[in-house]
């Protein structure tokens, strides 16, 4: 969680220098979701995410240097600078891709889970999406197919209450995401409070049960909150769609601060120093990396 | 490209039989090949093209899907990323429109967007075509829309020989391939060798050599263009008839070589003209040749596809209208020859329901 927080804070610091070359959808405040979930996974397991995907990428073990370089548009980036913040990938570490179109990777994750089952790979696929994706038809189609084929997949709905600036309750007739999933024959639970340890526990149960074949697909709705604006490095209370008071309890319940309070000062200092070194090195790596050569424009259209 | 005919030999298969054979042979060769789509395991088996595949390869590799084109296309993409080679079958190209997000935003782009890390080897088979009042939402040929998008390949073979080879090539290709099948070709036959063979993309076939006018026919219009070429012999017009087979990549070299010889080019598309394959071919020729070339194109009328026979007849080009146009390009607009035969005999013979 701290690695994610510090990388994103550093993104904010350098943002106005125009070093970051793509729109950023920061996950600050939602780190617990990715960290809690990915803590339960094995390296061979596969995750898919969304354009708000820095936390998923890093939590699953994606290379930090390659991520920052990708944001800088450098050829050493995880997508050679051609994808930017919204298109992160690190197949070696099981990060199978993020997408800029809401709901899109849900279906792609379905395919990875199908292939995993057919080839008996013994892996679990996890797909992260926001509550906005629940509105998309592809989400419902995907739950249905996952249930029919009993695929080894965990659907993680990061419910931060907003699709861009539109509240969940204006887009749904009732608070029934889990109930809806159960209609498709999918085990579903809500995890309240953005609580990283509760997330780890409940997702771990799901992952273990799916891996052992005791459970079919599961959906976990994880309640969380986006601290920053939808896209960009700032806050957005001036827009008037939410208030600082609404955010306050989430900030007070900051999962990073809570965990820090549970360990000794000495360990905290050590972790801080380690993370600081890693983050600084990643930005330095990005700074010092070259942009793609012009010829690169025509590469990777066809393979 | 040589003028070797697709039909040399005596092992005669229909178009659907060729498609089925290509699929079966590739599924035997590579256990990552799967066949999915609405109705692939039903008694009609997509005009017979998937008949018996589920019995042979099991329900895990050949399966019916929910009516959910969007997610199923995304599913195929994700499966491809994990090493499978899905063939997703649609009984109508019109239904592929339900999957455009996944095809255009994901399949076409993932390789590039992820800097080469994530190829998407999928084949999208779908049916287009005139026949028996199929009309506006059951016959559209939208290959030009797919040609517009970098990252997609588009192929539209017009005979069983090419269909088998092009499908095998499509399955082995590491890119998303839009494989276009015209329903009127269902009854067409040609020699199809039993052994497996891949037909390289980007190589056109010269169906008939000639010197007066080049006629390029796309998909089923390759059949009508060939017939027109035969009719034109009656008035001493020598037409060189070309079937591009694959539209993206497109073999412009063969077309340009032919045009350099004939000085006249008529492109007959099995689709609308505006921003279409015909526009692309003519534009490529116009901006490449040094001496002026006479350019014409034919295709669907710029209207929604009608169902009633009289309007349908006027909507589509046929061998007769193609021959008239080509003859006037060669002999001048005053030439009033009209061949006795109309062409489109497949349409005349077609009887629904199917």
> What are the pLDDT digits (tens) for B116-138?
999 999 999 999 998 788 899 99
Q: Does A116 touch chain B (CB under 8 A)?
A: yes
Is the model's pLDDT at B3 over the cut of 50?
no
The count of structural domains within chain A is 1
Strand partners, A187: A218
Confidence of residue B347 (pLDDT cuts 50, 70, 90): confident
Alpha-carbon span B40 to B56, nearest angstrom: 13
The CA-atom distances, in angstroms, between A258 and each of A191, A192, A193, A244, B336 are 17, 16, 13, 21, 90
* Confidence at residue B353, expressed as pLDDT on a 0 to 100 scale: 52
Query: Are B241 and B207 a contacting pair, CB within 8 Å?
Result: yes
Arch. (CATH architecture) of B205-349:
3-Layer(aba) Sandwich (3.40)
- Is the model's pLDDT at B8 over the cut of 80? no
Q: Which residues of A touch B119 (CB under 8 A)?
A: 303
Q: What is the CA radius of gyration of chain B?
A: 20
Say whether pLDDT at B6 is over 60.
no
The predicted model gives B222-236 an average pLDDT of 97
Q: What is the pLDDT of residue A281?
A: 98
Question: Domain ranges in chain B?
Answer: 12-191, 205-349
Least confident of B7-16, B296-305, B328-337: B7-16
Share of chain A above pLDDT 70, in %: 100
Given this chain, do its domains B12-191 and B205-349 carry the same CATH topology?
yes
Summarize pLDDT for B44-89 with one digit per residue, the tens. Answer: 999 999 999 999 999 999 999 999 999 999 999 999 999 999 999 9
Unique residue bearing structure tokens 């019916």: B64
B114/A contact by beta carbon, under 8 A: yes
Strand partners, B126: B90, B180
The residue of B81, B103, B178 whose CB has the most chain A CBs within 10 angstroms, and thus the best one to mutate to test that interface, is B81
Is residue B143 flagged as an active site residue? no
**Closest Cα partner for B300 from B261, B331, B327, B273?**
B273
Domain that holds residue A26: 2-292
pLDDT confidence of residue A40: 98
Which residue numbers in chain A have pLDDT < 70? none
pLDDT tens, B84-116?
999 999 999 999 999 999 999 999 999 999 999
Cα separation, B350 vs B354, in Å, equals 9
Catalytic residue among B21, B69, B181, B240: B69
**Can you tell me the mean pLDDT for B26-50?**
97
Task: Map tokens 């939402």 to a residue.
Answer: B137
pLDDT of residue B351: 59
The CATH fold of domain B12-191: Rossmann fold (3.40.50)
Phi first, then psi: give them for residue B152, nearest 5 degrees: -100, 145
Distance from CA of A154 to the nearest CA of B (A): 15
Do the domain assignments include residue A259? yes
Separation of alpha carbons A276 and A92, rounded Å: 24
Distance separating alpha carbons of residues B227 and B208, to the nearest angstrom: 10
Minimal CA–CA distance to B216: which of B153, B158, B148? B158
Can you tell me the mean pLDDT for B247-268?
98
Locus of tokens 């287009």: B128
Q: How far does A22 lie from chain B, in Å, by closest CA?
A: 13
Name the residue in chain B with its Cα closest to that of A118: B60
- In the predicted structure, residue B5 carries a pLDDT above the cut 70: no
Between β-strands B153-155 and B246-248, what pairing exists: parallel, antiparallel or unpaired?
Answer: antiparallel
User: pLDDT category, B352, cuts 50, 70, 90?
Assistant: low
Q: What is the structure's pLDDT at B1? A: 37
Q: Is residue A298 part of a domain?
A: no
Question: Measured between CB atoms, which of B65, B76, B174 is closest to A303?
Answer: B174
In CATH, what number is assigned to the domain containing residue A181? 3.40.50.970
- Per-residue H/E/C for A77-137: CCCCCCCCCCCCCEHHHCEEEEECCCCHHHHHHHHHHHHHHHCCCCCCEEEEEEHHHHHCH
CB B90 within 8 A of CB B125: yes
A300 within domain boundaries? no
How much is the ipTM here? 0.97
Q: How much is the mean pLDDT over chain B? A: 95
* pTM exceeds 0.90, yes or no: yes
Phi, psi of A26 (to 5 degrees): -75, 145
What percent of chain B clears pLDDT 70, i.e. is strictly above it? 96
Does residue B191 have an active-site annotation? no
The reply to whether A9 falls in a domain is yes
CA neighbor of A191 nearest in space, from A166, A168, A221: A221
């Amino acid at each position: 969680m701290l690695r994610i927080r510090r990388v994103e804070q550093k993104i904010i610091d350098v943002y106005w220098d125009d070093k970051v070359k793509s729109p950023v959808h920061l996950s600050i405040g939602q780190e617990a979701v990715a960290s809690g979930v990915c803590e339960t996974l094995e390296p061979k397991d596969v995750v898919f995410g969304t354009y708000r995907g820095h936390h998923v990428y890093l939590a699953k073990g994606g290379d930090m240097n390659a991520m920052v370089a990708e944001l800088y548009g450098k050829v050493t980036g995880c997508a050679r600078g051609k994808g930017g913040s919204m298109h992160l990938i690190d197949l070696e570490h099981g990060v199978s891709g993020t997408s800029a179109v809401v709901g899109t990777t849900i279906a792609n994750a379905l395919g990875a889970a199908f292939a995993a089952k057919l080839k008996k790979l013994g892996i679990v696929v996890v797909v992260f999406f926001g509550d906005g994706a629940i509105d998309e038809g592809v989400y419902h189609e995907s739950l249905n197919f996952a249930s029919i084929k009993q695929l080894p997949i965990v659907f993680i709905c990061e419910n931060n209450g907003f699709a861009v600036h539109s509240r969940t309750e204006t887009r749904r007739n009732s608070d029934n995401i889990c109930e809806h999933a159960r209609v498709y024959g999918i085990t579903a639970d809500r995890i309240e409070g953005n609580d990283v340890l509760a997330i780890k526990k409940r997702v771990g149960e799901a992952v273990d049960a799916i891996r052992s074949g005791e459970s079919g697909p599961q959906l976990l709705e994880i309640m969380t909150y986006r601290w920053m604006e939808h896209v960009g490095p700032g806050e957005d209370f001036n827009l008037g769609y939410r208030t600082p008071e609404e955010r306050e309890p989430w900030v007070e319940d900051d999962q990073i601060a809570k965990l820090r309070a549970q360990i000794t000062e000495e360990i905290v200092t050590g972790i801080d120093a380690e993370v600081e070194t890693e983050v600084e090195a990643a930005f330095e790596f990005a700074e010092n990396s070259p942009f793609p050569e012009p010829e690169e424009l025509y590469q990777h259209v066809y393979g | 490209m040589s003028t070797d005919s697709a039909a040399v030999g005596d092992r005669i298969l229909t178009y659907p039989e060729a498609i089925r054979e290509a699929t079966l042979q590739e599924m035997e060769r590579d256990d990552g090949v799967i066949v999915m789509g609405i109705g692939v395991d039903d008694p009609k088996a997509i005009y017979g093209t998937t008949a018996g595949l589920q019995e042979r390869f099991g329900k895990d590799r050949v399966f019916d899907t929910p009516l959910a084109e969007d997610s199923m296309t995304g599913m195929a993409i994700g499966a491809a990323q994990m090493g499978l080679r899905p063939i997703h079958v649609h009984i109508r190209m019109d239904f592929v429109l339900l999957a455009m997000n996944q095809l255009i935003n994901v399949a076409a782009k993932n390789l590039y967007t992820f800097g080469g890390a994530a190829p998407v080897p999928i084949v999208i088979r779908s049916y287009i075509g005139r026949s028996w009042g199929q009309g506006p939402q059951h016959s559209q040929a939208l290959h030009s829309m797919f040609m517009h998008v970098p990252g997609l390949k588009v192929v539209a073979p017009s005979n069983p020989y090419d269909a088998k080879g092009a499908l095998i090539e499509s399955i082995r290709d590491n890119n998303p391939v839009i494989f276009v099948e015209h329903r009127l070709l269902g009854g067409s036959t040609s020699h199809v060798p039993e052994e497996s063979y891949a037909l390289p993309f980007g190589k056109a076939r010269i169906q008939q050599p000639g010197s007066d006018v080049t006629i390029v026919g796309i998909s089923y219009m390759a059949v009508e263009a060939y017939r027109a070429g035969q009719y034109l012999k009656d008035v001493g017009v020598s037409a060189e008839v070309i079937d591009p087979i694959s539209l993206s990549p497109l073999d412009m070299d063969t077309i340009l070589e032919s045009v350099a010889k004939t000085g006249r080019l008529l492109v007959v598309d099995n689709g609308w003209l505006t921003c279409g394959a015909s526009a692309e071919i003519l534009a490529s020729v116009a901006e490449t040749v040094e001496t002026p070339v006479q350019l014409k194109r034919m295709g669907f009328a710029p209207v929604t596809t009608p169902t009633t026979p009289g309007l349908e007849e006027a909507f589509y080009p046929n061998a007769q209208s193609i021959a008239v146009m080509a003859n006037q390009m060669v002999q001048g607009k005053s030439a009033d020859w009209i061949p006795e035969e109309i062409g489109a005999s497949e349409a005349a013979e077609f009887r629904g329901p199917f």
